[in-house]
Amino acid sequence: MKPIADMTRWLHIVVVTLVVWMQEYIRVIFQKLNVRHLYLLGVILFAAIAIQVADWIAKHAIEHFQFLRMLLAGSNDIEGDWVNITVSTASPTVIIAAEYCRIRFHNGQYVLSGDTWSLDGKWIEDFLTQGSSYRNREFEYYYKTGINRVGGFGAILFSPHDDLPSDFICRYVDENVSAPCVTRGRRIGRRLKKVPQDERRAAALHFAGNFESLGLLDFEGFTHNRQPAVPEGPGRQ
């Protein structure tokens, strides 16, 4: 998504233009109050308040309206529901977990959260990013997970590069794991809505079940190819 600053910059231009246009009206008001010599101070005060209000409106609108965020992000929009598989770099041919995660925009940044299951359907843990940065289709983050809230950090690369992101590959390091892990995921929905845990688990395991036949993750192929290289899961738009 384009930085909020890009949007507020245009709002500031509009506000300043409005203040210049209203300058004469402000002068007349101060003249009627017999404080004409203070009207420039009134103009400055009005401009400062108007800019603060414009900033608040912009941030509030972006925070609460997904359609506006989708419009601003354009083809770089990554919000929605995703499913992915996890492998260890120590044994990249073995899928060790399936996950259902959600990316949403909150308090000025993207937040990644979700749940992890073993391939037999046993719930393992949940996770939640505590801080992130998204630029040029790369999402860097750190997170807390499990009952003890141990953490880690990682980076996600989204694909394709010339269209709306539909797949990702992620490499992360976890405090509980000796070797770095890699995940490969696919978006199954853009609209944020409540999904029961049973449905989330079923979607994650379905994706993992189809993915096992592919064997090794094709890192280079993912980076350079612009078409998804993983099988479709049960989607919800």
Q: How far apart are CA 205 and CA 118, in angstroms?
A: 9
Interior angle at CA 95, CA 93 and CA 100, nearest 5: 145
**pTM of this prediction exceeds 0.85:** no
pLDDT at 217 over 70: no
Phi, psi of 202, deg, nearest 5: -60, -40
- The per-residue b/e assignment along 104-127, b for 16 or more CB within 10 angstroms, e otherwise, is ebeeeebbbebbbbebeeeebbeb
Cβ atoms of 157 and 133 within 8 Å: the answer is no
pLDDT digits over 61-94, tens only?
888 888 888 888 889 999 999 999 998 888 887 8
pLDDT digits over 110-151, tens only?
999 999 999 999 999 888 898 899 988 999 999 876 666 677
